[in-house]
A and B are shown apart, each in its own frame.
Chain A
Amino acid sequence: MVFVTGKGGVGKTTVAMALGLRAAAEGKRTIVCEVAAQENASRFFEHAEVGFHEVEMADNLWAISIDPDEAMREYVLLQLKVRAMRDMLFRSRIFTYLTAATPGLKELVTIGKIWELAQLDRKVKRGRKYDLVIVDAPATGHGIGFLQTPRTFAAIARVGPIHSQARELDRLIVDHEHTGVAIVALPEEMPVNESAALEHDLREEVGVAVDRVYMNGLYPERFANEESERLGRLAEGEDGAVRAAARAALSEHNRARSQRAQLARLRRRVRAPVKTLPFLFEPELGVEAAGQLARRLG
């Protein structure tokens, strides 16, 4: 299992998709999970009409959007074998209330579903086996809490089946052989700070393995410093399109330079290897963009 996390707006979904495409191309049966009701349904999934069922998106690549209410329902179905009891439960307003009122229960059943997907012996009928489960996890802050849910829950529910299941989930999350986290960062001040803090917390507080940090959205270094001086003179002396083009080039140069400084900061401040991903000059990032990034992940 790989959890992809990071600050909001850094491109987690695109990177999760790219990782999925890459693994699928390598022949691994892969599923990308969106944790629904956490973030707005992403653009990738909207078009493919992914819901709480596994949908094949490409060769070897499946996707699922995990709705916590659906996950809760499935969990109860797996726990209770008596149909009449289940039906009564689902009709009961009090059960709905209790599940909503129990802090962390929705996150717990969501992680439980992710765990179920990762099982070689699937619990759901005719479930496929996956080699890799990639989770488009909630953003920083929420992300730490999300991964800690099983441990927190095991502490609150001191007895009962959920207690032991939560403990098992926690053991799996901190099992470095089977579970890893990828952090997505952007080459800007705040995302770099947050990524470094996030890595620290994930390692020290959650105890999960942080395998890689992706620095997303790096501008190409198109111009040398010496060239930027010539472009600066051009921007001063000209007008119209020439001036606008020179200004755009200078702006790109400054951005690329400050991004390289942020990349160096990130490398100094995190322990996991940092992998860079280019900024894509695309109007909207969709499956195609994820494909481009997937080729860069090799």
Chain B
Amino acid sequence: MSHVGEILEGKDVCICAGSGGVGKTTTSAAIAAGMAASGLKVCVLTIDPAKRLADSLGLKELGNEAKRVDPALFGRQGVEMRGELWAMMLDAKATFDELVARQAPDEESRDRVLGNPIYQQISNALAGSQEYMAMEKLFELHTEGRFDLLVLDTPPTRNALDFLDAPRRLTQFIEGRSLRVFMRPTGLAAKVAGRGASVALSVFKRIVGFDLLADLAEFFNAFSGMVDGFQARAKRVNGLLADPRTCFLVVCGPQGEPVDEAVYFHRKLVEAKLPFGGVIVNKVHYPAEKLRGDGEDLQAALAEKLGDDDLAGRVAENFADYQALAERDARNIERLARELRTAGTIRVPYLDEDVHDLAGLAEINRYLFASSEQREAIAAGRA
């Protein structure tokens, strides 16, 4: 498979998606830094950067506005920076508040929504609101057109699909159509909704307590003037995700579960007709060169070279463990490539040190921005 630079050629938006714990944040930062180094003006939108990584980018007070990473930092790390790297940390609540302020017809309805307890709950905690606000911010930045490329580090969803599903769930909730219908049980709506609905209402009231229902009703009333605006915007946000100049990169790990997740997510991308760009597998145990002879031969050779039987035994044992993991990774990645019907995957090895500075990002980029032959050579220590 071609490398990240080629995949992102001519793209405006790169969305890094995958389940939690697979190194998405680091990958997003590395891709953004690599594309900026090649001459583009790039902004990475992240959710929760590792503190040391943020510190090393000089971004201690990262907020809901994009900030430029000091170009001098790259020089000090020996990275030639031809473009500009910007970064921002997404604040879902603040983005939601901004969106409400923009959509509200007047200040009074804005304040009614912002002050509503249900709104405060959903803007913080409703499943999908963080994901949708990430897309919303992406859309806003894209519309402003200040950057050549936007890289989005998606929120750590329980399931990668939660991300794709977010706009639909949120707008469905906000529409509250069936609820609004039976909030006025005296009119025509009550006849349409029927007796089942009024029983449902009374039971629901009994279970959750009337105040909650009143808050919900108040919320939907306050929001009713903005529903059309929200829907229209959600449609445009979805349009951006489906644009051919957008590219989804699936990030995963080499173990069975992350690979299952990646396969599942890819299938959903295809079903939703969203542009899939490629798959990046992090923390891969690269297979070492083929063993000549069996393990005993190796142990004997090691003992001869080291002059230490005990150490040779431990080195051989460690190597056998490593090989087993490398074989597992190779099997899983082969399955991934088969399921995704992709020529190959971009594999980043399990590095000896955690990545938390520009030097680490540059190390990752040796793999992300290399051909597959080059990657093999670097991993084997030959380049």
What interface size band does chain A fall in?
A: 35 or more
What is the interface of chain B mostly: helix, strand, loop, or mixed? helix
The answer to whether A141 and B178 have CB atoms under 8 Å apart is no
The answer to whether B305 and A252 have CB atoms under 8 Å apart is no
Known: A79-B207, A92-B197, A101-B216. A254 touches B125 (CB 8 A): no
| Complex CA–CA separation, A190 to B193 (angstroms) | 51
The answer to whether B193 and A40 have CB atoms under 8 Å apart is no
Indicate whether A59 reaches chain B with its CB closer than 8 angstroms: no
The answer to whether B200 and A245 have CB atoms under 8 Å apart is no
Q: Which residues of A contact B257 (CB under 8 A)?
A: 40, 42-43
The answer to whether B209 and A248 have CB atoms under 8 Å apart is no
Q: Which residues of A contact B204 (CB under 8 A)?
A: 95, 98-99
| Complex CA–CA separation, A240 to B256 (angstroms) | 30
- Residue of A10, A162, A189, A244 near B288 (CB, 8 A) is A244
- Residue of A40, A92, A258 near B159 (CB, 8 A) is A40
The answer to whether A85 and B203 have CB atoms under 8 Å apart is yes
Question: For residues 155 through 172 of chain B, which have their beta carbon under 8 Å from a beta carbon of chain A?
Answer: 156, 158-159
Indicate whether A298 reaches chain B with its CB closer than 8 angstroms: no
Indicate whether B377 reaches chain A with its CB closer than 8 angstroms: no
In the complex, which residue of chain A has the Cβ closest to the Cβ of B197? Answer: A94
- Residue of B25, B211, B302, B327 near A158 (CB, 8 A) is B211
Known: A91-B196, A161-B207. A142 touches B158 (CB 8 A): yes
The answer to whether A103 and B322 have CB atoms under 8 Å apart is no
The answer to whether A98 and B20 have CB atoms under 8 Å apart is no
The answer to whether B324 and A283 have CB atoms under 8 Å apart is yes
| Complex CA–CA separation, A79 to B205 (angstroms) | 13
The answer to whether B176 and A101 have CB atoms under 8 Å apart is yes
Which of A50-58, A125-133, A222-230 is the interface stretch?
A: A222-230
In the complex, which residue of chain B has the Cβ closest to the Cβ of A237? Answer: B305
| Complex CA–CA separation, A145 to B267 (angstroms) | 30
In the complex, which residue of chain A has the Cβ closest to the Cβ of B181? Answer: A94
Indicate whether A28 reaches chain B with its CB closer than 8 angstroms: no
Known: A101-B216, A161-B207. A245 touches B315 (CB 8 A): yes
Interface size on B, residues (CB 8 A): 80
Q: Which residues of B contact A162 (CB under 8 A)?
A: 207-209, 212
The answer to whether A246 and B199 have CB atoms under 8 Å apart is no
Q: Which residues of B contact A242 (CB under 8 A)?
A: 298, 301-302, 305
Indicate whether A288 reaches chain B with its CB closer than 8 angstroms: no
Indicate whether B232 reaches chain A with its CB closer than 8 angstroms: no
Q: Which residues of A contact B211 (CB under 8 A)?
A: 156-160
In the complex, which residue of chain B has the Cβ closest to the Cβ of A189? Answer: B354
What is the interface of chain A mostly: helix, strand, loop, or mixed? helix
- Residue of B156, B328, B380 near A141 (CB, 8 A) is B156
Indicate whether B76 reaches chain A with its CB closer than 8 angstroms: no
Indicate whether B373 reaches chain A with its CB closer than 8 angstroms: no
Give chain A nearest CB distance to B216 CB in angstroms.
7
Indicate whether B316 reaches chain A with its CB closer than 8 angstroms: yes
Q: Which residues of A contact B193 (CB under 8 A)?
A: 94
| Complex CA–CA separation, A238 to B305 (angstroms) | 9
The answer to whether B200 and A156 have CB atoms under 8 Å apart is no
Indicate whether A7 reaches chain B with its CB closer than 8 angstroms: yes
Q: Which residues of B contact A142 (CB under 8 A)?
A: 158
In the complex, which residue of chain A has the Cβ closest to the Cβ of B193? Answer: A94
Which of B58-66, B101-109, B116-124 is the interface stretch?
A: B116-124
| Complex CA–CA separation, A250 to B200 (angstroms) | 66
| Complex CA–CA separation, A99 to B208 (angstroms) | 10
A-B contact count (CB 8 A): 211
Q: Which residues of B contact A60 (CB under 8 A)?
A: none
Give chain B nearest CB distance to A46 CB in angstroms.
10
The answer to whether B253 and A248 have CB atoms under 8 Å apart is no
| Complex CA–CA separation, A7 to B156 (angstroms) | 9
- Residue of A10, A79, A94 near B178 (CB, 8 A) is A94
The answer to whether A248 and B288 have CB atoms under 8 Å apart is yes
Q: Which residues of A contact B374 (CB under 8 A)?
A: none
Q: Which residues of B contact A152 (CB under 8 A)?
A: 121, 125
Indicate whether A48 reaches chain B with its CB closer than 8 angstroms: no
In the complex, which residue of chain A has the Cβ closest to the Cβ of B255? Answer: A284
Indicate whether A273 reaches chain B with its CB closer than 8 angstroms: no
Q: Which residues of B contact A292 (CB under 8 A)?
A: none
Q: Which residues of B contact A163 (CB under 8 A)?
A: 209
Question: For residues 272 through 331 of chain B, which have their beta carbon under 8 Å from a beta carbon of chain A?
Answer: 288-289, 291-293, 298, 301-302, 305-306, 308, 311, 314-319, 321-322, 324-325, 327-328, 331
Q: A103-B118, A248-B319 are in contact. List 8 more A-B contacts (CB 8 A).
A: A88-B199, A91-B196, A160-B208, A160-B209, A161-B206, A223-B314, A242-B305, A248-B318
Residue positions of B touching A, CB distance < 8 A: 19-22, 25, 50-52, 117-118, 121-122, 125-126, 156, 158-159, 173, 176, 178-179, 182, 193, 196-197, 199-201, 203-212, 215-216, 253, 255-258, 260-261, 264, 288-289, 291-293, 298, 301-302, 305-306, 308, 311, 314-319, 321-322, 324-325, 327-328, 331, 350, 352-354, 356, 380-381
Offer 28 A-B interface pairs, CB within 8 angstroms, sorted by A: A7-B20, A8-B20, A92-B196, A92-B197, A94-B182, A94-B201, A97-B179, A99-B204, A157-B208, A157-B209, A157-B211, A159-B209, A160-B206, A160-B212, A162-B207, A189-B50, A230-B308, A231-B315, A235-B381, A241-B288, A242-B298, A245-B315, A245-B316, A248-B288, A250-B352, A258-B352, A283-B327, A284-B256
Residue positions of A touching B, CB distance < 8 A: 7-10, 38-40, 42-43, 76, 79-80, 85, 88-89, 91-95, 97-105, 138-142, 145, 152, 155-163, 188-191, 193, 222-223, 227, 230-231, 234-235, 238, 240-242, 244-252, 254-255, 258, 262, 281, 283-285
